[in-house]
Amino acid sequence: MRGIVTAAVVLAFLSNHVAGHQPEEGARRRKSLGFGSKHPQAGFRTNPPQPSSFSGGATACPFATAKHFADDLLGYLPSETHSYRVRDDSYTDKNTGVTHVYLRQLVNGYEVMDGDINLNVKDGVVLSYGNSFFTGPAPTEASTGANPHIEYCEALEAELLQHQQVSTQDQEVLSTGGNNHVAELEHLMESNCHHAEVPLAFGRPGASQPTEHSVENALLQFMIAATPKVDLAKDMIHRAGEYVKEMSSIFVHDLHDNHSPAMQIHNVPDTVSPVKARVGYTQVVSEDGERTSLELVYKFEVEMQDNWYEASVAAVAPHKVLSVVDWASDAAPVPTQKRKESTRATYNIFPWGMNDPSEGDRKIADENVDSLASPAGWHAFPWANDPQSLQGSGSSKAPKGEFWRNTTSTMGNNVWAHEDWEGQNNWLHNYRPDAGADKVFDFPYKPHDTNKTDALGEAKKYINATVTQLFYTTNMVHDLYYRYGFDEISGNFQQYNFGRGGRENDAVIANAQDGSGYNNANFMTPPDGQNGRCRMYLWNTAMPYRDGDLEAGIVIHELSHGLSTRLTGGPSNSGCLGWGESGGMGEGWGDYLATTIRSTKKYKDYPMGAWAANREGGIRNYVYSTNSTINPSTYKTLDKPGYWGVHAIGEVWAEILFVVNAKMIEKHGYSDTLFPPSPLEDGTIPEGDFYLPIKVDAKGNKGPLVPKHGNTLLVQLVLTGMKLQPCNPTFFDARDAIIQADKVLTGGENLCTLWSGFSDRGLGPDAKVEGRLPWGGGIRTNDFDLPTACRK
Ligand SMILES: *[C@@H]1O[C@H](CO)[C@@H](O)[C@H](O)[C@H]1NC(C)=O
Ligand SMILES: *[C@@H]1O[C@H](CO)[C@@H](O)[C@H](O)[C@H]1NC(C)=O
Ligand SMILES: *[C@@H]1O[C@H](CO)[C@@H](O)[C@H](O)[C@H]1NC(C)=O
Ligand SMILES: *[C@@H]1O[C@H](CO)[C@@H](O)[C@H](O)[C@H]1NC(C)=O
């Protein structure tokens, strides 16, 4: 009963702070924590020598090959203190035939949450591997080593100080948005460093707070750092004991992850669902920076209004916060069954390839059913995977004997799109346009000139058109990425997986006109089997307001977070693109894909988010351009003050890929469509003018499908590269993974073309970095040269 009383107290508290969620005038800046240790021993290696003693040969089971390789690499056989498990989200890629094997380290029987080996195996050979296993002896007691949270905040402060001094002299920085960079650093500090010291006070003898270490204390201390509500944080500090008492923990016996005990904690302030917790180890860097030590932690999964955190908090008091990844990513700080034709829906939308309303008018488009990617179309899913009927709510109950639930609204197997004017987390029964039995989604969109008072009301009039567009774009992106290998087994977003592997019940939840803010967008990517969340906002940058749902580039950028997060480090590990270079590339891939999708045969420079932001140059520092005068970003740009935020880093990565793309088009020409041909009745995919002729070896084995044009091939290499690269990749790792993807797919035909693109922006073979912190900084050296093999 006590729990219910508390819930009411906490709710009342929440409503006191609803102000924090009211739409603000300017850009919406979410509070978001993100930091952790960089593991000095971690690395990614392509084409490693193979252990000699293994005689499995090319036909060996890839898992046996992987295990043999790993045991040789580790130099010990699994024992009571040191072992690993093969994660069950490991899979074999259908097209490349590469098996991606993920090992999770176990020490003293506990998982090392950031101890991963990913091995890419084909024909009995380990093509490449990443390794972040802890290398020291098993700890016998809880360590009380470094505090990455405090270290991050100190480093941020130092960077900010230095930048403030530098920016008065450095005209270039100023002229390229230097002030933006200060603002970015300030935002990072405000997000991450509020109450950074508080956890240390907790559990201190004599303090008024509880001194016992417990999972509830650890969680409360995280919530103090995580909540964006200043008063709530203060109250949690003040009345810690009471908050802790009101939490209740239950053990959950999960069929899948039975290696660490799992708990669910209820009544946690400022969360929107029970917190999941597991015990394990996290690595923290030793003082000399050369090794890591293990710290016993609670690993929490905390879903909040604006964040979805994976956090490691020391299990022993003082409960330091050791690492945090926010599964939510923002868009930008501003400034084989043939279906009957008759069952297809139609939509009045800005067509695919048109970035935003400034590029033309809406047209009627078909439900573009790709029979491979969406065999049941966009408006059907099984009753058994229907969250409405699973909740037993509403009119939605399975009629006897019916397998499919067919909808006439914007609910389908890949995405559920709807308004979210309240800006809350409910979505199951939010308003969706219903097009009736003929599924004609033809709704008016004619925004009138307005004044500020009426602008919101005017925008809301077009919710039917807007939700339709969001539904359409999201389905197209689902189908497109599917065809390049983001399928069920690699962790894509679908309610039902057609028995093709992977975890289901995770369609994208897409909120249009989300009322929790303006001038942004974000995406939350939990592990495979849990719904991704996409929130799109209105932009009050012009009258009438502009609706982010109508700018395809922004929607594509957001959905690409789901793609890169699920493909990097395996479908069940959502913690691989948290901060620093890896977090930055998470942004960069989104810009690269959004730009590639809108590109046309005739070369042009492209801004990002220009229509929504009502700014010619868009929301990045530079437009994407192969011309170094227009976009001067190179690898070394990351040294610059202010390049700590993931968007600035991402912009450099996207620019590098933009240049690589141009080189690939120069060599292989351009395909007007990124969509491969539909499969034939028998399920085979015709080469058409899209794929290179399929290679068949002496034994009659067919090689992979490889797109033949520059733009399509690079999309394929980038997606395959994501599957090959390790958790927490650096720019070098991601570059090497793309080069290896080319080797896997074409035998390495594009080695020198790819290098020429990377080298053009300083990421040549001898590029290096010294003194990099996990989150930013360091001194980089550009290399504009090609590898010897490619020099003419
Ligand atoms: C419902 O959807 C399924 C899967 O796409 C399809 O086979 C079936 O024909 C649809 N039923 C109706 C009545 O449209
Ligand atoms: C805004 O426009 C509406 C209708 O166009 C009008 O009724 C209202 O008075 C205007 N408000 C202001 C403050 O101008
Ligand atoms: C949306 O479309 C429905 C018909 O499907 C209509 O009843 C409703 O008024 C429309 N909403 C708006 C805001 O125009
Ligand atoms: C690059 O851009 C600059 C500035 O717009 C322009 O002067 C120059 O001609 C461009 N170079 C090329 C090769 O197009």
Domain covering 347-575 in this structure, CATH number: 3.10.170.10
Q: What are 648-704's pLDDT values in tens digits? A: 999 999 999 999 999 999 999 999 999 999 888 777 888 889 999 999 888 888 899
CA 53/CA 58 separation, integer angstroms = 14
CA-628 nearest atom, ligand 4: 1
- Other residues' Cβ atoms within 10 Å of the Cβ of residue 502: 20
CA-343 nearest atom, ligand 1: 14
Q: Which ligand ends up closest to the CA of 623?
A: 4
Helices (H), 215-336: 215-226, 230-238, 240-246
Residue to probe by mutation, ligand 3, list 410, 464, 468, most atoms within 8 Å of CB: 464
Residue nearest to atom 5 of ligand 4 (CA): 630
Note the pLDDT of residue 261.
60
What is the 456 CA–ligand 2 centroid distance (Å)?
A: 12
Look up the pTM and report it: 0.86
What is the 26 CA–ligand 3 centroid distance (Å)?
A: 29
- Indicate whether residue 383 lines ligand 1 (CB < 6 A): no
**Residue 442 contacts residue 533 (beta carbons within 8 Å):** no
Note the pLDDT of residue 182.
78
CA 220/CA 239 separation, integer angstroms = 11
Residue to probe by mutation, ligand 4, list 603, 605, 627, most atoms within 8 Å of CB: 627
CA 782/CA 635 separation, integer angstroms = 6
Which CA distances in Å does 397 have to 388, 428, 558, 746, 753?
Answer: 8, 14, 33, 50, 56
Q: Which ligand ends up closest to the CA of 544?
A: 2
Note the pLDDT of residue 202.
54
- Indicate whether residue 448 lines ligand 2 (CB < 6 A): no
- Indicate whether residue 630 lines ligand 4 (CB < 6 A): yes
Q: Which ligand ends up closest to the CA of 462?
A: 3
Domain spans, the chain? 7-30+142-326, 43-131, 347-575, 635-790
Looking at every residue in the chain, the average pLDDT score rounds to 86
Q: Which ligand ends up closest to the CA of 625?
A: 4
- Whose tokens are 């906002």? That residue is 537
CA-463 nearest atom, ligand 3: 13
Looking at residue 431, its amino acid is: Y
What is the 54 CA–ligand 4 centroid distance (Å)?
A: 56
- The conformation of residue 315, written as its DSSP 8-state character, comes to S
Q: Which ligand ends up closest to the CA of 622?
A: 4
- The annotated binding site for Zn(2+) is made up of 330, 557, 561, 587
- Indicate whether residue 628 lines ligand 4 (CB < 6 A): no
Residue 31 backbone phi and psi in degrees, to 5: -75, 135
- Please, what are the averages of pLDDT over each run of 10 residues along the chain (792 residues)? 26 24 50 84 92 74 94 87 92 95 91 94 95 88 72 83 58 39 80 71 47 79 90 88 87 54 86 90 82 88 90 86 84 47 84 96 91 94 90 64 92 98 93 96 96 94 98 98 97 96 96 93 94 95 96 97 97 93 96 98 96 94 97 95 86 98 98 92 84 90 94 98 97 98 97 98 97 83 97 82
Q: Which residues are 91's β-sheet partners?
A: 100
Residue to probe by mutation, ligand 1, list 367, 372, 404, 407, most atoms within 8 Å of CB: 404
* 313-325 b/e (C-beta count within 10 Å ≥ 16 → b): bbbbbbbbbbbbb
**Residue 762 contacts residue 741 (beta carbons within 8 Å):** no
What is the 460 CA–ligand 2 centroid distance (Å)?
A: 16
- Indicate whether residue 406 lines ligand 1 (CB < 6 A): yes
Residue to probe by mutation, ligand 1, list 406, 407, 438, most atoms within 8 Å of CB: 406
Q: Is the dihedral of CA 701, 704, 707, 708 positive or negative?
A: negative
Which residue, among 682, 774, 751, has the nearest Cα to 338 in the 3D structure? 682
What is the 458 CA–ligand 2 centroid distance (Å)?
A: 12
Which residue, among 36, 181, 176, 325, has the nearest Cα to 643 in the 3D structure? 181
What is the 426 CA–ligand 3 centroid distance (Å)?
A: 21
Residue nearest to atom 11 of ligand 4 (CA): 627
Ligand 3: which residues within 6 Å by Cβ? 433-434, 443, 461, 463-464
What is the 94 CA–ligand 1 centroid distance (Å)?
A: 27
Length of the chain: 792
CATH 2.60.40.10 fits 635-790, yes or no: no
Note the pLDDT of residue 13.
21
| Residues 6 or more apart whose Cβ sits within 8 Å of residue 271 | 223, 302, 303, 304
Catalytic (active site) residue 558: yes
**Residue 215 contacts residue 265 (beta carbons within 8 Å):** yes
CA-451 nearest atom, ligand 2: 1
CATH topology of domain 43-131: Nuclear Transport Factor 2; Chain: A, (3.10.450)
Among 151, 367, 504, 558, the active-site one is 558
Which residue, among 293, 290, 291, 271, has the nearest Cα to 282 in the 3D structure? 293
- Indicate whether residue 395 lines ligand 4 (CB < 6 A): no
What is the 533 CA–ligand 1 centroid distance (Å)?
A: 26
**DSSP codes, 157-207:** HHHHHHHHHHTTT-HHHHHTTHHHHHHHHHHHHHHHHTTSSHHHHTT-TTS
